Amino acid sequence: MRYEFVAVHEIMGIARPKDSQEQVLVDYPSDRAQAVIYPDMDSRLFEHDRSLVISNMMLDGFIGKASAGTFEERLAHDLSAFQEKRREEAKERLFVLFEAQGEIESFNPQVQKEFPEFFVAVGSAPKDDVRARYRPQINALLAGIAIGSENVTGIKKIRDGVVFASENDKPVYAYNITMSGTGTVVTYLEGSMLAFTKDNAKVFARHQDLVNPARLLTRSLDVENDTLLSFLSAWSGLEIFINGCFRAYENSLFEKLHDGEKPLAPSKLVERIRDVMKDKYGLSNKFALVSLELDGASTETDIADFQRVKRVRDSLIHGEEVPLDALPTKDVRRLLRKYLKLHTEHLKLRE
């Protein structure tokens, strides 16, 4: 059975210019997928909007709120109202759509009803299997956006949905029935963020040492988090990143000391230093070395910021009272974003 999958995320802190055009950020030909900025989502999301409105109508029916009129009349009214509300709320907000098409084994819903333009199916639809196919690409995409601009203050998932298609191409809306305040300064959409995301989204997918800390940066930006979780997510990402890439930059530094026509130190002395130091690097020392290799001009400032943030983190871990509204979350995000970006550029030069 064929399907169409979309995932929509709002990039907070970045405003879409009024005269912006459709832009493809990343293309995934082998997956029949792409990430796009659409200025008008109504036409692109029509089937998914209709599926969402039908699910809301079904829920209203279950709890006794169904409005008067035929199903088709109520659907047309509610769909129009839903899209109008979104158009009003979405002015200048930046949304990134990940969209993909593919095929999956057919499934047999428990209940299926045919309408002139679509099917409604209730039962065990394999939507989670479809979502799982694209999770790595979406994580890499959001990582590129989060790293690409320091003005990104949050990332919020607006929608992810799957619409299936019958043999005669009629949409199948399948449902698995289950029950169950931050101020920002908005800047306009930057070419640098777009360029970085386009150039590097696929790089993240090839390097797990980038993906995990970048995902934690993305999680830190999730507006649903509380302040403590946002801070700890960003710090964990920075710690994982530094520990993961440290050995590569240590090797690079020591190679510079004894390689070349005029080595700065004899090879035996360098190896002795390495042997003595191998178990003595603390996290601050590791960060200092990585910073020196990637941006020596800013090392002194960045080390001071790192140590200040680390003191706050250590105080939290040791149970000391730390005002949550004073957590240096922006500072740790800045460091993580900066060094992930520099490390990414370094990897690209080596590939």
Selection from 102, 100, 108, 271 nearest residue 174 by Cα = 108
- The answer to whether 263 and 257 have CB atoms below 8 angstroms apart is yes
Residue 283 has pLDDT above 80, yes or no: yes
Q: What is the mean pLDDT of residues 230-242?
A: 94
Domain limits of the chain?
A: 2-192, 208-350
pLDDT in tens, 16-65: 877 778 889 899 999 999 999 887 788 789 999 999 998 888 776 543 45
Pairwise CA distance, residues 187 & 97, whole Å:
20
Q: Is the pLDDT of residue 4 over 70?
A: yes
User: Mind listing the pLDDT tens digit for each residue in 249-280?
Assistant: 888 877 776 665 555 455 555 565 555 556 67
Three-state DSSP class for residue 335: helix
Nearest CA to 235 among 151, 311, 159, 345?
311
Q: What local confidence, expressed as pLDDT, does residue 217 receive?
A: 92
